[in-house]
Amino acid sequence: MRRCVIIGGADIGDYASLRSRLKDDDFFVFCDSGLKHMEALGVSPDLAVGDFDSHPRPDFEVETIVLPCEKDDTDTVYAVKEALRLGFEDFLLIGVVGGRLDHTLGNVSILLYLDGLGKKAALLDDFSEMEIVSNTPVTVDARFSYFSLLNISGTARGIVIRNAKYPLSGGEITVEYQYGISNETKDGIPAEVSVAEGRLLLVKVF
């Protein structure tokens, strides 16, 4: 199954880095003003979605879903749901972090939504790669400068961090006290993160 890449309208500074993470067979969904990134990313949409309140409605042959301006789902959330309807299991979101904090937090929560459905998902911006740690241990490659664990969904218990500068065994992180910020891999060896109960946002910093 192809990966679905969803592109939002947040600013992108390092297009070259993002282009290097794209695959020829990716299915590209552009959300509203995300279309402004089309030329710089060097990819063509397979689907366009949006209410087009922040970008002119596109005039091309690609399927375009025009949404009402007044709705519960943001353009990005609708795009994710449409991709799920099409059967995608693997997601990459770019251009969805930055600018308005409410949109940023809403888009980060999409990772929780997809994890709850058992889908693979990552969010990529100019500085980091984000994913959810839940039922399966996650590896942090040594190429990342730092990594942080943030609780955005309640209390996480039984947290284990191995092969890192600051290891942890049986830890607990609550949303009120986020002490899992700016850890590092050690000796060029990938770190491993797992959680026995709850979920964590893993932010891997380039």
- pLDDT means per 10 residues in the chain (206 residues)? 94 94 96 92 94 77 84 91 97 93 93 97 96 96 95 94 96 95 94 97 96
Domain end residue (candidates: 106, 126, 146): 126
Sheet holding 200-205, edge to edge: 64-66, 47-50, 27-31, 4-7, 90-94, 120-124, 128-133, 200-205, 146-150
At residue 64, the pLDDT reads: 87
CATH of the domain at 110: 3.40.50.10240
- CA gap 128, 58 in Å, rounded: 30
What residues does 161 pair with on adjacent strands? 168, 193
Query: Tell me, what's the pLDDT at 30?
Result: 96
- pLDDT of the residue at 9: 92
Could you tell me if 31 and 112 lie in one domain? yes
Host domain of residue 201: 133-205
Same domain, 122 and 147: no
Q: 181 and 199: one domain?
A: yes
Backbone angles phi and psi of 168, in degrees to 5: -150, 145
Q: Which residue has the tokens 């299991």?
A: 89
Instruction: Give the pLDDT score at 60.
Output: 82
- pLDDT of the residue at 33: 86
The pLDDT, as a whole number, for residue 171 is 96
* Contact yes or no for 12/100 (Cβ under 8 A): no
pLDDT for 70 equals 80
Alpha carbon distance 116, 75 (integer Å): 20
